[in-house]
């Protein structure tokens, strides 16, 4: 593709595509193509101008970007497969165009419409507002639509069509922005629930092969095991599984799927294993069903937003009573109309969703994906945070540092078996085993039968009709009763304490102990201190590791509490106990075993490099390479709540002042309406600004 570099500075490049115009679809293809490159930190494609802004790390990455742009094609099948069904670009363009047309239309009518035409236009536009007010009254409710209809009708009866038109214009802008905010929030949530599974296990004649999801076609057979996310819509052709469809249907109880049953992308296999025949390729999932499921959900609104909306409705009867009382006392219609000209709902409905949308956008700039304003409010109000250890407080990419073998087993054979089992259940520790096998050039082809994953314990399978297990000390020794060759007991007991240990046994005998080096993240101590400073009174760690390992990490990080050798239900139980004590809880984790706790918490935060199911269940996802994002999220969430509360107080107090000045005869109704509308726009514009520019807790 031909393009020209317009500008470069500080590892940032702006390029211009050398073609007449760029469609929305082409912009999406190019953006997702570049986002998929490891050497690209961030990318933004502007379809209107045909410009691309790319951020990268260094000079070598710059050359790679140039090469990638040179080889790019809109017809590239791999690039096309990266683009989801719904990217949000078309939705944003639709509302941007509607907003501009509304504003330009108002300006054109003000400048060029003769008065008779302006009056006719205003009367025609008022019909829908008056209809809403009458319908509200017929249902026995005195709410904001009644006040809007009263203000518009009263203005027109007084011959003040300009004020009536301005009121309707502001109401229209507010409704449009509210609709845009909600549609965008739903769209973002639906896309985040439509998981982007990168690779799947394809069943072939010889063996199961792991392939990119973009290579899977309709009719292919895909293997799905316990705790894996169903990557594509399909029909079960082999095996049985219990599938959790809550992300699709809202059903809390898993549904049994047998041969002939249909499964949907984004659901989760809770137990069992099955082979599905793919019916729809990547990019053709059940997005619209997800949207319908959450359309009526209050999940997106924080309690503070809802409170503000209800307050606007509760004030309506008082406004109407104030209008009547003012007229009876003063016999002055202008003073009475002051109550009607000031509509609390206008500013509340405009500023609150804009503040939330701005916060979610700003969180996205920090590589934090939030599924709704409710969860930012939960983060802001939390006083307890629970961390998983492995892959969360420690590095997301631990490494296999040493292997101790027993009972005459060869080290390479031990690693081969371990990697063969672990590759089916991606987790940071499992990834370390598989990665070490790759480094040593070990080809670990399938040598076992069906693999069984025991959550928070380990993996079991059969090799040559004998049971092989790999997992925690509790699983291998207590649950499975494996034994160590007594002649090698001293060597077994001398394994250093500094490692996280993975035990492997074959036919009831321990054959190997894999030592995982899992150092604490460099930034973790400072992040823990920052979270304490941000008002988190209890910071806990819960891990399946041994007590000695957990104690060492807790001491290093100065944690308030730690719990070792815990099961998934223990983590969820701890959070329930905190709730009973009236505390709000954040859970941070990355593994399959963290999902019950992520669901139980007021706000569940998943690490992006962790298990796909954890990301689906979580309310918030952060990029894996930096724990500072959790502190930034807390700071940003607190700033959002301060803004919402400040907006709320400003709107109520300023509009009450306008009413008082109107009743006192200081302000005419038209002036009150002008000041009210002007303040609404200013508060709305302020709500769209960055919450904490330059004030983030992250030192960078």
pLDDT tens, 620-652?
Answer: 888 766 889 999 999 999 999 999 889 888 988
Candidate ranges 573-577, 589-593, 670-674; pick with highest mean pLDDT: 573-577
Partner residues linked to 512 by β-bridges: 405, 504
More confident residue, 427 or 114: 114
Contact at 8 Å (CB) between 230 and 266? Answer: yes
Task: Give the three-state DSSP class for 664.
Answer: coil
Q: E-strand spans in 555-659?
A: 561-563, 585-589, 603-607, 620-622
Residue 302 has pLDDT above 70, yes or no: no
Distance CA(10)–CA(55), nearest Å, equals 9
Residue 539 has pLDDT above 50, yes or no: yes
Partner residues linked to 387 by β-bridges: 541, 588
Contact at 8 Å (CB) between 624 and 395? Answer: no
Distance CA(148)–CA(130), nearest Å, equals 8
The mean per-residue pLDDT over the stretch 176-200 comes to 68
One of 1.10.3210.10, 3.40.50.300, 2.70.150.10, 3.40.50.720 is the CATH number of 199-284, namely: 2.70.150.10
Confidence of residue 104 (pLDDT cuts 50, 70, 90): very high
Distance CA(444)–CA(430), nearest Å, equals 14
Task: Give the three-state DSSP class for 272.
Answer: strand
Any residues with CB less than 8 A from the CB of 694 and at least 6 apart, and which?
none
Q: Which two tokens stand for residue 494?
A: 């001398």
Any residues with CB less than 8 A from the CB of 502 and at least 6 apart, and which?
418, 429, 433, 470, 471, 472, 513, 514, 515, 516
Residue 605 has pLDDT above 90, yes or no: yes
Q: What's the Cα-to-Cα distance from 4 to each of 16, 132, 576, 680, rounded to whole Å?
A: 5, 54, 57, 43
Distance CA(445)–CA(435), nearest Å, equals 15
* Residue matched to tokens 């951020």: 55
Nearest CA to 532 out of 642, 384, 639 is that of 384
Q: Which two tokens stand for residue 191?
A: 């896309």
Q: Which helix (H) or strand (E) holds 179?
A: helix 161-193
User: Which range (24-38, 171-185, 243-257, 315-329) has the least confidence?
Assistant: 243-257
* Residue matched to tokens 């896309």: 191
User: Which range (74-83, 111-120, 477-486) has the least confidence?
Assistant: 74-83
At residue 298, the pLDDT reads: 46
* Residue matched to tokens 């379809």: 47
* Residue matched to tokens 């007594």: 486
Any residues with CB less than 8 A from the CB of 107 and at least 6 apart, and which?
none
Distance CA(412)–CA(416), nearest Å, equals 6
More confident residue, 444 or 405: 405
Confidence of residue 287 (pLDDT cuts 50, 70, 90): low
Order across the sheet with 399-405: list the strands: 399-405, 509-517, 500-506, 466-471, 458-463, 452-454
Distance CA(165)–CA(152), nearest Å, equals 8
Any residues with CB less than 8 A from the CB of 581 and at least 6 apart, and which?
none
Distance CA(477)–CA(459), nearest Å, equals 13
Domain 399-517 fold = Calcium-transporting ATPase, cytoplasmic domain N (3.40.1110)
At residue 296, the pLDDT reads: 47
pLDDT tens, 571-590?
Answer: 999 999 999 999 999 999 88
Phi-psi region of 556 (alpha: psi -120 to 50; beta: other; left: phi over 0): alpha
Confidence of residue 483 (pLDDT cuts 50, 70, 90): very high
Distance CA(378)–CA(358), nearest Å, equals 17
pLDDT tens, 424-477?
Answer: 766 677 888 988 998 998 876 656 556 776 655 678 888 888 899 998 888 899
More confident residue, 386 or 495: 386
| CA trace torsion 230, 235, 241, 245 (10° rounding) | 50
User: Which range (8-12, 15-19, 294-298, 534-538) has the least confidence?
Assistant: 294-298
Contact at 8 Å (CB) between 400 and 428? Answer: no
Any residues with CB less than 8 A from the CB of 28 and at least 6 apart, and which?
45, 83, 87, 89
Class of domain 3-83: alpha beta
At residue 297, the pLDDT reads: 46
Distance CA(498)–CA(500), nearest Å, equals 7
Q: How many CA atoms lie within 13 A of 231 on its CB side?
A: 31
* Residue matched to tokens 């099955």: 274
Phi-psi region of 58 (alpha: psi -120 to 50; beta: other; left: phi over 0): beta
Sequence ranges of the domains in the chain: 3-83, 94-189+299-356+638-687, 199-284, 368-393+521-622, 399-517
Contact at 8 Å (CB) between 419 and 444? Answer: yes
Residue 505 has pLDDT above 80, yes or no: yes
The mean per-residue pLDDT over the stretch 12-26 comes to 90
The mean per-residue pLDDT over the stretch 69-74 comes to 92
Residue 497 has pLDDT above 80, yes or no: no
At residue 699, the pLDDT reads: 44
Distance CA(215)–CA(204), nearest Å, equals 14
Total Cβ atoms within 10 A of residue 204: 11
* Residue matched to tokens 């894999």: 514
Task: Give the three-state DSSP class for 367.
Answer: coil
At residue 60, the pLDDT reads: 81
At residue 185, the pLDDT reads: 64
Residue 342 burial (10 A CB sphere; 0-12, 13-18, 19+): buried
More confident residue, 110 or 698: 110
Residue 694 has pLDDT above 50, yes or no: no
At residue 177, the pLDDT reads: 75
Strand pairing category for 585-589 and 384-387:
parallel
Question: What end-to-end distance do the CA atoms of the chain give, in Å?
Answer: 35
More confident residue, 384 or 599: 384
Q: E-strand spans in 305-447?
A: 368-370, 384-387, 399-405
Angle at 607 between CA 209 and CA 276, to 5 degrees: 30
Average confidence score pLDDT of the chain: 83
Q: What's the Cα-to-Cα distance from 360 to each of 289, 317, 365, 375, 480, rounded to whole Å?
A: 23, 34, 9, 10, 47
CATH of segment(s) 368-393+521-622: 3.40.50.1000
The gap from C-alpha 212 to its chain's centroid, in whole angstroms, comes to 23
Distance CA(598)–CA(491), nearest Å, equals 39
The gap from C-alpha 649 to its chain's centroid, in whole angstroms, comes to 29
Task: Give the three-state DSSP class for 311.
Answer: helix
Confidence of residue 115 (pLDDT cuts 50, 70, 90): very high
The mean per-residue pLDDT over the stretch 502-528 comes to 91
Distance CA(423)–CA(410), nearest Å, equals 20
Can you say whether the dihedral through the CA atoms of 478, 488, 421, 260 is positive or negative?
negative
Q: Which two tokens stand for residue 669?
A: 């109704």
Residue 124 has pLDDT above 90, yes or no: yes
More confident residue, 315 or 6: 6
Helices and strands in the chain: count of H runs, count of E runs: 24, 24
Q: Which two tokens stand for residue 411?
A: 């080290």
Residue 253 has pLDDT above 70, yes or no: no
Percentages (nearest 5) of helix, strand, coil residues in the chain: 50, 20, 30
At residue 508, the pLDDT reads: 92
Total Cβ atoms within 10 A of residue 462: 14
More confident residue, 445 or 231: 231
């Amino acid at each position: 593709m031909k393009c020209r570099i317009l500008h470069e500075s500080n590892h940032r490049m702006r390029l211009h595509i050398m073609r007449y115009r760029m469609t929305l679809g082409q912009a999406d293809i190019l953006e997702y193509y570049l986002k998929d490159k490891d050497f690209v930190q961030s990318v933004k494609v502007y379809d209107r101008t045909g410009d691309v802004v790319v951020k990268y790390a260094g000079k070598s990455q710059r050359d790679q970007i140039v090469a990638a742009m040179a080889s790019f094609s809109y017809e590239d099948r791999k690039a096309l497969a990266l683009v989801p069904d719904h990217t949000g670009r078309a939705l944003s363009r639709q509302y941007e165009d509607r907003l501009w047309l509304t504003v330009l239309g108002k300006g054109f009518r003000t400048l060029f419409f003769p008065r008779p035409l302006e009056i006719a236009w205003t009367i025609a536009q008022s019909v829908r507002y008056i209809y809403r007010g009458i319908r509200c009254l017929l249902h026995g409710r005195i709410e904001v639509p009644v006040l809007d209809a009263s203000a518009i009708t009263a203005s027109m009866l007084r011959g003040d069509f300009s004020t009536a038109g301005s009121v309707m214009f502001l109401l229209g802008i507010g409704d449009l922005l509210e609709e845009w905010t909600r549609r965008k929030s739903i769209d973002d949530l639906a896309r985040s629930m439509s998981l982007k599974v990168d690779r799947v296990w394809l069943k072939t004649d010889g063996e199961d092969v792991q392939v990119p999801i973009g290579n899977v076609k309709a009719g292919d057979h895909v293997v799905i095991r316990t705790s894996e996310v169903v990557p594509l819509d399909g029909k079960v052709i082999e095996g049985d599984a219990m599938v959790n469809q809550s992300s699709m249907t809202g059903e809390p109880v898993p549904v049994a799927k047998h041969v002939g049953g249909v499964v949907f992308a984004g659901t989760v296999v809770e137990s069992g294993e099955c082979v599905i025949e793919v019916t729809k390729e990547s990019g053709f999932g059940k997005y619209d069903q997800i949207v319908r499921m959450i359309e009526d959900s209050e999940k997106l609104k924080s309690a503070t937003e809802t409170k503000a909306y209800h307050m606007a409705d509760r004030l309506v009867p008082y406004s109407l009573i104030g209008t009547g009382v003012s007229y009876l006392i003063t016999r002055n219609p202008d003073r009475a109309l002051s109550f009607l000209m000031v509509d609390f709902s206008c500013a509340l409905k405009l500023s609150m969703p804009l503040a939330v949308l701005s916060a979610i956008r700003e969180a996205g700039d920090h590589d934090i994906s939030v599924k709704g304003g409710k969860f930012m409010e939960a983060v802001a109000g939390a006083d307890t945070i629970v961390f998983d250890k492995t892959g969360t407080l420690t590095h997301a990419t631990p490494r296999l540092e040493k292997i101790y073998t027993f009972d005459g087993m060869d080290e390479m054979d031990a690693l081969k078996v371990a990697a063969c089992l672990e590759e089916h259940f991606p987790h940071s520790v499992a990834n370390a085993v598989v990665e070490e096998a790759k480094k040593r050039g070990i080809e670990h082809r399938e040598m076992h039968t069906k693999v069984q994953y025991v959550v928070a314990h380990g993996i079991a399978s059969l090799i040559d009709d004998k049971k092989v297990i790999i997992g925690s000390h509790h699983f291998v020794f207590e649950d499975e009763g494996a034994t160590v060759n007594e002649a090698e007991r001293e060597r077994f007991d001398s394994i250093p304490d500094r490692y996280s240990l993975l035990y492997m046994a074959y036919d009831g005998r321990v054959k190997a102990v894999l030592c995982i080096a899992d150092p604490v993240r460099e930034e973790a101590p400072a992040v823990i201190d920052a979270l304490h400073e941000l008002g988190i009174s209890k910071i806990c760690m819960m891990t399946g590791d041994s007590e000695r390992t957990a104690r060492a990490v807790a001491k290093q990080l100065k944690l308030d509490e730690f719990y070792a050798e815990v099961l998934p239900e223990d983590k969820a139980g701890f959070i329930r106990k905190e709730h009973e004590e009236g505390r709000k809880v954040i859970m941070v984790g990355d593994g399959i075993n963290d999902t019950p706790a992520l669901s139980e918490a007021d706000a569940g935060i998943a690490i992006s490099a962790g298990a796909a199911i954890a990301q689906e269940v979580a309310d918030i996802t952060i990029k894996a390479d930096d724990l500072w994002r959790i502190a930034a999220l807390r700071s940003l969430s607190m700033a959002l709540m301060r803004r919402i509360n400040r907006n709320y107080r400003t709107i109520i107090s300023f509009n009450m002042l306008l009413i008082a000045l109107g009743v006192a005869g200081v302000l005419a109704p038209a002036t009150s309406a002008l000041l009210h509308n002007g303040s609404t726009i200013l508060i709305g514009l302020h709500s769209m600004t960055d919450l904490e520019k330059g004030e983030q807790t992250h030192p960078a």
